[in-house]
Amino acid sequence: MNNFFETGKKGKRARKRRIGWIGWAIRTAFNLALIMVVAVLVFATGLYLHVVREYQDRLDSRYPALPQDSSIYDSEGNKIGEFNVLESRKTLGPDEFGDNLPRAVVAVEDRRFYEHLGFDPEGVGRAAWADIRSWEVQEGGSTITEQLIKNLYIPQAQRIEVSFWRRFTQAALAFAYEQKHTKKEILTTYLNTVYFGNGAYGAETAAHRYFGKGARDLTLSEAAALAGFLDAPSTYYTGGRTVGTENATTSRDSVLYQMHEQGMISKDEMQKAMDEPLRFDPELPPVYPEYEPFIEKVRREVEEKLGPGALERGGLQIHTTLDPDMQREAIATTKEVLYEPDDPSAAVVSVEPQSGAVRAIAGQAGDFNLALDARRQPGSSFKPFVLATALREKISPETTYLSHDIYVSFRNQMYPVHNYDYIERGEISIRKATEESDNTVFVQLAADLGLENVVTTAHDLGITSPVDPYPATAIGGLGTGVSPLEMSSAYATFAGGGIHREPYTIETIDRTSFGKTEQAYDHLIGGRRVMSGNQATAASRVLRGVVENGTPTLFHDLDEEIGRPSAGKTGTSNDFADAWYVGYTPRLSTAVWVGFPEGRRSMVGVHGLQEPNGETLPMDIWSLYMAQATADQPPLDFAEADLSHFRILDRGYAAAFPPDATVYFGP
The 10s digit of each residue's pLDDT in 310-364 is 999 999 999 999 999 999 999 999 999 999 999 999 999 999 999 999 999 999 9
Q: Is residue 191 over pLDDT 90? A: yes
Mean pLDDT score across all residues of the chain: 88
Share of the chain above pLDDT 70, in %: 84
Residue 308 lies in a domain: no
Using 50, 70 and 90 to split pLDDT, how confident is the model at 175?
A: confident
Tally of domains within the chain: 3
DSSP element (H, E) containing 548:
helix 533-549
Q: Read off the pLDDT band of 656 (50, 70, 90).
A: very low
Q: How far is CA 482 from CA 262, 376, 478, in A?
A: 69, 5, 8
293 domain residue, yes or no: no
CA 254/CA 273 separation, integer angstroms: 11
More confident call, 233 vs 581: 581
The rounded distance, in Å, linking the Cα atoms of 528 and 460 is 9
| Dist. CA 118–CA 452, nearest whole Å | 71
Between residues 409 and 388, which one has the greater pLDDT?
388
Stretch among 135-144, 245-254, 295-304 having the lowest mean pLDDT: 135-144
Map residue 343 onto helix, strand or coil: coil
Strand, helix or coil for residue 206: helix
Give me the mean pLDDT over the 240-249 stretch: 73
Which of 209, 244, 275 is the last residue before a domain boundary? 275
Sheet holding 413-417: strands in order across? 413-417, 406-410, 661-665
Q: Are residues 381 and 425 in the same domain?
A: yes
CATH number at residue 577: 3.40.710.10
How many residues in the chain?
A: 667
Q: Compute φ and ψ for 8, nearest 5 degrees.
A: -65, -40
> Which pLDDT score, from 0 to 100, does residue 343 have?
96
In a domain, 321, yes or no: no
Task: Tell me the DSSP string of 176-212.
Answer: HHHHHS-HHHHHHHHHHHSB-STT-BSHHHHHHHHHS
* CATH for 182: 1.10.3810.10
Q: Is the dihedral of CA 160, 161, 167, 170 positive or negative?
A: negative
What's the distance, CA 564 to chain centroid? 36
Domain of residue 41 covers 1-60
Look at residue 55 in the predicted model and tell me its pLDDT: 66
Give the long-range contacts of residues 392-395, CB within 8 A, separation 24 or more.
Answer: 392/457, 392/531, 392/535, 393/449, 393/453, 394/645, 394/646, 394/647, 395/430, 395/449, 395/646, 395/647, 395/649
DSSP 243: B
Q: What is the largest CA-CA distance in the chain?
A: 162
Q: Which residues contact 140 (CB under 8 A, 6 or more apart)?
A: 123, 126, 127, 130
**Are residues 41 and 92 both part of a single domain?**
no
pTM, two decimals, is: 0.86
3-state helix, strand, coil in the chain (%, to 5): 50, 15, 35
**pLDDT for the residue 243:** 60
pLDDT of 238? 65
> Do 408 and 457 fall within a single domain?
yes
Question: Which pLDDT belongs to residue 11?
Answer: 61
- 427 and 563 in a single domain? The answer is yes
Is the per-residue pLDDT at 645 higher than 90? yes
Mark whether 498 and 372 lie in a shared domain: yes
The pLDDT score that the predictor gives to residue 124 is 54
Identity at 574, one-letter amino acid code: N
What is the DSSP code (8-state) at residue 125?
H
Task: Region of 29 please: left (phi>0), alpha (psi -120 to 50) or beta.
Answer: alpha
Q: Within this chain, do residues 30 and 100 fall inside the same structural domain, yes or no?
A: no
Residue 286 has pLDDT above 80, yes or no: no
Task: Report, as an integer, the average pLDDT of 57-75.
Answer: 89
Per-residue pLDDT band at 123 (split at 50, 70, 90): low
Residue at 352 is within a domain:
yes
In this prediction, residue 664 carries a pLDDT of: 46
Of residues 639 and 662, more confidence is placed in: 639
Contact 571, 578 (CB under 8 A): yes
Lowest-confidence segment of 85-94, 495-504, 652-661 by average pLDDT: 652-661
Pairing of strands 316-320, 70-73: parallel
Q: Are 380 and 572 in contact (CB under 8 A)?
A: yes
Same domain, 366 and 454: yes
Residues 267 and 138 in one domain: yes
Q: What is the pLDDT of residue 144?
A: 94
Secondary structure (3-state) at 366: coil
* Residue 208 confidence (pLDDT) above 70: yes
Domain match, 244 and 344 both: no
DSSP-derived letter for residue 365 is: E
Within a domain: residue 136? Answer: yes
- Tell which of 275, 291, 316 closes a domain: 275
pLDDT for res 657: 43
d(CA 541, CA 535): 10
pLDDT at 203: 97
CA distance 328 to 331: 5
State yes or no: pLDDT of 261 exceeds 90: yes
Do residues 564 and 590 touch, judged by C-beta distance below 8 A?
A: no
Q: Which long-range contacts (CB under 8 A, 24 or more apart) does 155-164 make?
A: 162/137, 162/138, 163/137, 164/137
The Cα–Cα gap between 626 and 330 comes to 9
Query: At a CB cut-off of 8 Å and minimum separation 6, what does 69 contact?
Result: 82, 83, 84, 85, 88, 89, 90, 205, 314, 315
**160 occurs within a structural domain:** yes
Beta partners for residue 358, in sequence order: 351
pLDDT for 654 beyond 50: no
- Judge if 112 and 20 occupy the same domain: no
Report yes or no on 313 lying in a domain: no
Same domain, 234 and 359: no
| DSSP assignment of 430-467 | HHHHHHHT-HHHHHHHHHHH-HHHHHHHHHHHT--S--
The pLDDT of residue 53: 63
Domain co-membership, 23 together with 90: no
Please answer whether residues 209 and 282 qualify as being in contact, where contact means their C-beta atoms are separated by less than 8 angstroms. Answer: yes
Q: Which of 209, 242, 275 is the last residue of a domain?
A: 275
Q: What is the reported pLDDT for 293?
A: 96
Task: Please report the beta strands in 84-173, taking only residues with DSSP state E, as ranges in sequence order.
Answer: none
Burial status of residue 578 (CB atoms within 10 A of its CB: 0-12, 13-18, 19 or more) = buried
Give the three-state DSSP class for 517. Answer: strand
Amino acid making up residue 544:
R
User: Residue 311: inside a domain, yes or no?
Assistant: no
377 within 8 A of 595, measured Cβ to Cβ: no
For residue 361, report the phi and psi dihedrals to the nearest 5 degrees.
-140, 115
Q: What is the pLDDT, as a whole number, of residue 19?
A: 64
In this predicted structure, the answer to whether residue 176 has a pLDDT above a threshold of 90 is no
Please tell me the distance from the alpha carbon of residue 79 to that of residue 324, in angstroms, as a whole number: 10
pLDDT at 652: 44
> Among candidates 252, 351, 229, 238, which has minimal Cα distance to 297?
351
Place 5 in a pLDDT band, splitting at 50, 70 and 90.
very low
CB atoms within 10 A of CB 496: 26
d(CA 191, CA 188): 5
